[in-house]
Homo-oligomer: A and B are copies of this chain.
Amino acid sequence: MANSLLGMAELTRPEIIHLLERTDYWAEHWPSPPQVLAHRTVANLFFEPSTRTRFSFEMAAKRMGAHVLNFSVSSSSTTKGESLYDTVKTLESMGFDAVVIRHKENNIVHDLASLVDVPLINAGTGTSEHPTQCLLDLYTMKQHFGEVKGLTVAIIGDITHSRVANSHLIALPKLGARVIVSGPRHLLPAEYRGPVEFMPVDEAVSEADVVMLLRLQLERYSDLALSIDAYHRDYGLSEERFKLLKPSAVIMHPGPVNRGVEIAGSLVECERSLINTQVQNGVLTRMAILEWVILGGR
């Protein structure tokens, strides 16, 4: 079985720390990193639209010298009805060194990984896991605060449907961080994948070192049960609510941002926002991940 990146659930604490350290290595060598993936080939298989994550992986791989081949489909089309197993097996036979997969099904990467010999990278699956986003967030926290341990992270919004949140609910406690969740009751799960405290939004943002806003996936809800304006007022980081933050607290968001919904447009690029830094670190983190699955290190 190859060295796949399945989810934060499968990564041990030492493995997470190793990946964060290697991200530091790639940060130090930016923008002219050693071409350790020269002559290697990475496939991006995106079964859900995503420009930013696909670009981030493609940038990471190419900067390390790898070739990248892209495949993307809209949700409706298929590859002549071929199963994903057969597709990945085909890529394995072609000699790909890693396959990056985004898919709407929760367990598809886990299920595949035990059946193929090519390393897989989970680039977001269903509502279950988005480990590369989680790792880049952890790196960004560590970079800013020195360590993740001891931080209080408030995750605010639609926790139920957020694969980013679900990865963090597993990873943050592993690294010794405290997790607060907040948001509309009907968008919070009945059970959590790790230890969390629920708080009303105002209290959550006041307590937090990191205020992590989740994207309201407007395309997902047929009935949000509240208006966009009401969401912003009741759960968004409005300019008013921003005043409740501790002076040392920072803002994070996995992007893309709905300005004026999860966060006031004026706060997206404010001094306390790490949103663009997250994007920048995303490329570096994915370099560490590609190195890890292709060249080993487990």
Rounded to whole angstroms, the CA-CA distance of A69 and B54 in the bound complex is 10
Q: Are B83 and A259 in contact, CB atoms less than 8 angstroms apart? A: yes
Question: In the complex, are the beta carbons of B81 and A55 less than 8 A apart?
Answer: no
Interface of A is mostly: mixed
> Which of the residues B30, B49, B90 comes within 8 Å of A52, measured between beta carbons?
B90
Indicate if the CB atoms of B39 and A63 lie closer than 8 Å: yes
Instruction: Check A59 for interface membership: any CB of B closer than 8 A.
Output: yes
C-alpha spacing A297/B143, complex, angstroms: 36
Q: Please, which residue of chain B has its CB at the minimum distance from the CB of A280? A: B93
**A157 part of interface (Cβ distance < 8 Å):** no
Q: Which residue of B lies closest to A71 (CB)?
A: B51
Pair A30/B257 contact, Cβ less than 8 Å: no
Residue contact B59 to A90, C-beta cutoff 8 Å: no
Distance of A219 Cα from B55 Cα, bound (Å) = 31
Q: Which of A47-93 contact B (CB under 8 A)?
A: 49, 51-52, 55-56, 58-59, 62-63, 67, 69, 71, 77, 79-83, 86-87, 89-93
**Known contacts A86-B257, A279-B90; A41/B67 CB under 8 A:** no
Cβ contact within 8 Å between B79 and A55: no
Q: A203-234 interface mask toward B, CB cutoff 8 Å, 1 = contact, 0 = none? A: 00000000000000011000000000000000
Instruction: Give A111-149 as 1s and 0s: 1 = Cβ < 8 Å from B's Cβ atoms.
Output: 000000000000000000000000000000000000000
Is A276 at the interface (CB under 8 A from chain B)? yes
B43 contacts A32, C-beta separation under 8 Å: no
Contact partner, A62, options B31, B51, B67, B219, Cβ 8 Å:
B67
- Residues of B within 8 Å of A255, CB to CB, are 86, 90
Given contacts A62-B67, A67-B62, contact A55 B256 (CB under 8 A): no
Contact B279 A94 (CB under 8 A): yes
Known contacts A83-B259, A218-B81, A255-B90; is A59 also within 8 Å of B95 by CB? yes
Would B93 and A279 count as touching, CB distance under 8 A?
A: yes
Q: Chain A residues in contact with chain B, CB under 8 A?
A: 30-32, 39, 41, 43, 49, 51-52, 55-56, 58-59, 62-63, 67, 69, 71, 77, 79-83, 86-87, 89-96, 218-219, 255-259, 268-269, 276-277, 279-280, 282-283
Instruction: Supply 25 A–B pairs (Cβ within 8 Å), ascending by A.
Output: A30-B95, A31-B39, A32-B39, A39-B63, A41-B59, A49-B77, A49-B79, A55-B69, A55-B71, A55-B90, A56-B94, A59-B67, A59-B94, A59-B95, A59-B96, A62-B67, A80-B219, A81-B218, A86-B268, A89-B269, A90-B279, A94-B279, A94-B282, A94-B283, A95-B280
Known A-B contacts: A51-B71, A93-B277. Give 10 more (CB < 8 A).
Answer: A31-B39, A49-B79, A52-B87, A59-B94, A80-B256, A86-B255, A86-B256, A86-B259, A86-B268, A94-B282
